Amino acid sequence: MRIDFGRGVPRVAALLLIFATAGCSSSGTREPEPQVGRTTATVIEDQAIEMKALRRLYDDTTVYGRTHINVTSYNTMVLVSGEAPTEALRRRVIEIVRGVEKVSKVYDEITLAAPSALTSRTSDTLLTGKVKAQLFGSKELDATRVKVVTEKGVVYLMGLVPRAQGNAAAEVARRVSGVQRVVKLFEYTD
């Protein structure tokens, strides 16, 4: 799930946006929720973690208006990506996300930089779509078990998969034009 904490967004409108996009992945598009290996309760818990984290980030006056943060939870492991202009703000974001109930692990992939431009985010959304299309076209793996998040051309892969499928997914993603780097954040089932 992605929310930009940039200036000029009225708080009420931003909250409505958070609730309206509760089911969106970090890429800004909804992908099918992989059910293999996760219970419905875990899928709901992941969505709740994302919502709680974003709400807390939005309510924090040191974070609001200064950062662009994405929060993606898969099996209670949370990827935090985006941009923060200072180390202190990056640490504050991670502290807030770690404080959310039921978070088992936090992957800190926040870049120290000014919040990214809309054109960069649009490119990331398109790249996520291209990677997902290639994953679904592969006969070597079950693409419904892989969640794709893209930030500044870096593709993060999450899911509960056998090691061979995780490696196959990473190889497929690496071959997609525009992918700068692939980061595997899988939980392996073997």
Identify the CA nearest to 1 among candidates 97, 130, 65: 97
Residue pLDDT, tens place only, 138-184: 988 999 999 999 999 999 999 999 999 999 999 999 999 999 999 99
> Poorest-confidence range of 12-26, 37-51, 85-99, 160-174?
12-26
Residue pLDDT, tens place only, 101-140: 999 999 999 999 999 888 888 999 999 999 999 999 998 8
Which tokens belong to 133? 């299309």
Task: Say which residue, 9 or 1, is predicted with more confidence.
Answer: 1
Distance CA 133, CA 138 (A): 9
Amino acid at 10: P
Place of tokens 């291209």: 130
Question: By percentage, how much of the chain surpasses pLDDT 70?
Answer: 81
CA 178 vs. chain centroid, Å, equals 18
Mean pLDDT over 41-66 rounds to 95
Distance CA 138, CA 130 (A): 13
pLDDT at 37: 73
Taking the whole predicted model, whether its pTM rises above 0.85 is answered as no
50-73 exposure pattern, b = at least 16 Cβ within 10 A, e = fewer:
bbbbbbbbbebeebbebbbbbbbb
Highest CATH level, class, for 118-188: alpha beta
Give 13's pLDDT tier (boundaries 50, 70, 90). Answer: very low
Give 3's pLDDT tier (boundaries 50, 70, 90). Answer: low
Which tokens belong to 71? 């929060």
- CATH 1.10.287, applies to 2-112: yes
Domain boundaries, the chain: 2-112, 118-188
Identify the CA nearest to 78 among candidates 174, 168, 1, 182: 1
Answer yes or no: are the C-beta atoms of 84 and 25 closer than 8 Å. no
Give 59's pLDDT tier (boundaries 50, 70, 90). Answer: very high
Distance CA 180, CA 155 (A): 8
